[in-house]
Amino acid sequence: MDEHRTIAIIPSAGRGRRLGYRKKPYLEIQGKPVLAHTLSVFQTSPLIDGIIVVVMPEDVERCCKEVVEKYGLKKVLAVVEGGAERQDSVRLGLEKAEEYEPEFVVIHDGARPFVTQDIIERTLHPLTEGKVAALCGVVPKDTVKEVEDNRVKRTIPRETLRLIQTPQAFRFETLKDAHLKAVSSGLCATDDGALVELSGEEVCVVEGAYDNIKITTEEDLLMAELILQRRGT
């Protein structure tokens, strides 16, 4: 079997609750599905050797036909069924990725279409220097306060905080082990970086981008159109 040093896993099995249960991967921005925008960036990245897309069970064929085949995404190795939660979907993606014996794995939200080549490179770079995990994030723009019972307990310095995005890059064995530990202990986290943190490993943070937004609400769709217009794509 061909070696795939770095595989991107793209979880895209969300139900779109905040968008009236419209499936985010197939909503169109300037005539192209959100998921196709996302996958196209990884398709053209020289740092990514293969892609595994994780979708809702009933959407496997749709994803293959309407996204992968239609847009010529040759790096997609498989489209697999996701689980009940995002964490389950990533684990199922990892199980498929293991067949290709990757050294590194990159996890990126299918509904985050404005990732760039620079962000992918920045996120993977620490792994090439021996680190086991790296996330991208941005400093909050607003003042952040810790509140209890509607009363401010303290103001947290923004420079010590990051709003974490994807992509998130890991040594494959590190993330696989973190997911196995989570299953055995019943842990559930909002991102893969947290699972690695909980397993005791050091996690690095690199610079993300404010326009690397995740499509979650109607307002995000409007913002997405503006971002594409600004980029001229």
Q: What is the pLDDT of residues 62-118, one digit of tens each?
A: 999 999 999 999 999 999 999 999 999 999 999 999 999 999 999 999 999 999 999
What pLDDT is stored for residue 1 in this prediction?
37
Q: What is the mean pLDDT of residues 35-58?
A: 97
* Residue located via tokens 């709003």: 163
Query: What share of the chain has pLDDT > 70, as a percent?
Result: 95
- Which pLDDT band holds residue 17 (cuts at 50, 70, 90)? low
Say how many C-beta atoms besides its own lie within 10 A of residue 209's C-beta. Answer: 16
Contact (Cβ atoms closer than 8 angstroms) between residue 102 and residue 94: no
Contact (Cβ atoms closer than 8 angstroms) between residue 51 and residue 73: yes
d(CA 116, CA 110): 13
Q: What is the mean pLDDT of residues 143-147?
A: 96
Of 209, 213, 179, nearest to 193 by C-alpha is: 179
What pLDDT is stored for residue 3 in this prediction?
54
pTM score, two decimals? 0.94
CATH number of 6-231: 3.90.550.10
Q: What is the mean pLDDT of residues 202-214?
A: 97
- Asked whether the predicted pLDDT for residue 4 surpasses 90, the reply is no
- Asked whether the predicted pLDDT for residue 218 surpasses 50, the reply is yes
Mean pLDDT, the chain, whole residue set? 94
- Asked whether the predicted pLDDT for residue 33 surpasses 70, the reply is yes
Beta strand ranges found along the chain (DSSP E): 6-12, 28-29, 32-33, 50-55, 76-81, 104-107, 133-138, 144-148, 151-156, 163-171, 204-207
